[in-house]
Chain A
Amino acid sequence: MARTSPLMIQVATGDPRPIGRQIVDAVRMKIATGELTHGNQLPSVRGLAQQLMINPNTVAKAYAELTTEGWLESRQGTGLFVAAPRQRLSDAERDRRLDDAVGRFVNDVIPLGFAADEVQARVADAFELLVPRKTA
């Protein structure tokens, strides 16, 4: 049995995003949504290149970027794996981004005229839908 997890992604030529960027985005999304989890092994450079019909160097560059960003880790001699989730931003930066997002959200929502508790309940519902997948 193959130990490699299949990487169900597609790339498109003619897209404003270069192919390498498309791979980086797709893998990050798979990890963020829990479709790939800590310890899953990624396809080899050559394997993914052949699956997507692209130059192996493009895959190698995308994998290198994902590794540098801490999404993937290489294990000597065995290949690339999804890394353990860890905070990739400093506490201050996380706080700042959360403040920003809340500010934007509040500005968008105020004109709609919902009661505050109704808005909070809806946000809680949206989280409910996401969170189980993240921890699955």
Chain B
Amino acid sequence: MPNDSIIETRALSKRYGCKLALDRLDLAIPRGRVHAIVGANGAGKSTLFRILLGFMPPSAGEARILGKDSQQLTPQDRARIGFVNEEHTLPGWMRVSQVVAMQRHQYGRWNQQVFDGVIGHYHVLPEQKVGQLSRGERAGFNLALALAQKPELLVLDEPTLGLDVVAKRAFLESLLYSNAADDCTVIYCSHQMEEIERVADNLIILERGQLRHMSAPEEFTARVSHWVADVPFKGPDPRTVPGLLEVQRLDGLHHYLVLDQDHAFEQFLRASGARTVQSMPVSLDRAVNAFLAKHHAAPAAA
């Protein structure tokens, strides 16, 4: 097994009752850089992390993290992994200083300078109880704890959910420019395309427990194009449209978002009776949205 993957799964499956949360997932995430994982709710992201961090066994297949079987992680292995989740779960009854003392004791590579540098962005006092911190302060505290641990791998699961604009910016700044994350591989799980565009080197799209795409974000965006055609009447049967992700009829014009189509798509539209055809590129947000919307659960058409 190659050592350059920080996370590797093989035919990884997880079944909850009759529902497959992970469906023979094959995934290899290289070491280094920031990897964003996106997927609709229920795509299997949280399940994947639970298995990778050893909180839960898989139903079938294999999951390796830092080159180790995720079900056999030692406390030393865990110390090399930082994890920040959206709830920013920390014991509410403890004081900030107590949590810091506990973490410092627990992690041999603890770096107080990194902690101070990150926590300085937030109004968090050592004597405060964790339960009294705001959501944004808890997020900052959590990130400071995770970075000070000097992890090789930092997993962030929706870390900025519910943060105000100032807290969000402080969070991203600490993550991107604090030096602490320099030698660290970051897995960034988010629904916020604006953040992903700013931070991600690599985009991983999961859908229904399977890997659907992995590349630099701009390469994914380049796969999707937006075509507007003046097709009389109802236009071609959507089932015959190659690469179709989304179709809309607006003011009598057909708008198509399609995957992996080149100029041959214009010929298709012309052959379907289009009088005019124009195309343009789309944004990352639009591309991911259309890609995920295609298989998103929706009520049966009326």
Give A contacts to B, CB under 8 Å. Answer: 13-21, 46, 49-50, 53-58
Task: Give Cα A20 to B201, complex, Å.
Answer: 11
**Residues of chain B within 8 A of A54, CB atoms compared:** 176, 198-199
Contact (Cβ within 8 A) A18 B217: yes
| Closest chain B residue to A14, Cβ basis | B283
Q: A13-B285, A14-B283, A17-B281 are in contact. List 17 more A-B contacts (CB 8 A).
A: A13-B198, A13-B284, A14-B197, A14-B285, A16-B221, A18-B217, A18-B218, A18-B221, A18-B284, A46-B177, A50-B173, A50-B176, A50-B177, A53-B169, A53-B198, A54-B176, A55-B201
Minimum CB–CB distance for A71 against chain B, Å: 20
* Given A55-B200, A56-B176, CB of A13 within 8 Å of CB of B218: no
In the assembled complex, B172 has its CB within 8 A of some CB on chain A: yes
A13 in contact with B176 (CB, 8 Å):
no
Question: Could you tell me the distance between the alpha carbons of A58 and B284 in the complex, rounded to whole angstroms?
Answer: 15
- Give chain A nearest CB distance to B165 CB in angstroms: 11
Contact B218 A20 (CB under 8 A): yes
What would 24 A/B residue contacts be, using CB atoms closer than 8 Å? Answer: A13-B284, A14-B194, A14-B197, A14-B283, A14-B284, A14-B285, A15-B283, A16-B221, A16-B281, A16-B282, A17-B281, A18-B217, A19-B197, A20-B218, A49-B176, A53-B172, A53-B198, A55-B176, A55-B198, A55-B200, A55-B201, A56-B177, A57-B33, A57-B34
Cβ distance B191 to chain A, nearest Cβ, rounded Å:
14
A82 to B194, CA, bound (A): 30
Contacts of A46 in B (CB 8 A): 177
User: Which residue in A13, A50, A57 is a CB contact (below 8 Å) of B197?
Assistant: A13
Residues of A within 8 A of B166 (CB): none
Q: Shortest distance in angstroms between A62's beta carbon and chain B's nearest beta carbon?
A: 11
Interface status of B133 (Cβ within 8 A of chain A): no
Decide yes or no whether B297 CB sits under 8 A from chain A: no
Contact residues of B with A, CB < 8 Å? Answer: 33-34, 169, 172-173, 176-177, 193-194, 197-201, 217-218, 221, 280-285
Quick one: which of B172, B197, B201 has the most chain A CB within 10 A? B197
**Distance in Å from the Cβ of A27 to the closest Cβ of chain B?**
17
Whether A55 pairs with B34 at a CB distance below 8 angstroms is yes
Question: Shortest beta-carbon distance, A9 to chain B, in Å?
Answer: 15
Residue of B nearest to A18 (CB): B218
Please tell me which one of the listed residues B169, B199, B284 contacts residue A55 in the complex, with CB atoms under 8 A apart. Answer: B199
The residue in chain B whose Cβ has the minimal distance to the Cβ of A16 is B281
CA distance A21 to B218 in the complex (A): 9
Quick one: closest A residue to B182, CB to CB?
Answer: A56
A40: min CB distance to chain B, Å: 24
Report B235 CB to chain A, min CB distance, Å: 24
Distance, CA A49 to CA B217, complexed state (A): 17
Q: Across the interface, which residues of B come within 8 angstroms of A15, CB to CB? A: 283
The minimal Cβ–Cβ distance linking A19 to chain B, given in whole angstroms, is 6
Question: B219's closest neighbor in chain A, by CB?
Answer: A18
* B177 and A49 within 8 A (CB): yes
Contact status A57-B177, CB under 8 Å: no
Smallest CB-CB separation from B280: which chain A residue? A16
Q: Which residue of B lies closest to A46 (CB)?
A: B177
Expressed in whole angstroms, the minimum distance between the Cβ of A56 and any Cβ of chain B is 7
Complex formed: what's the CA distance from A19 to B33 in Å?
Answer: 17
Bound together, the chains give a CA A50 to CA B193 distance in angstroms of 19
Which of A13, A15, A19, A46 has most B Cβ within 10 Å? Answer: A13
Kindly state the separation between the CA atoms of A5 and B99 in the bound complex, as whole angstroms: 44
Chain B residues near A17: list those with CB within 8 A: 281
Q: Which residues of B contact A57 (CB under 8 A)?
A: 33-34, 201
Across the interface, do B198 and A19 meet the contact criterion of CB distance under 8 Å? yes
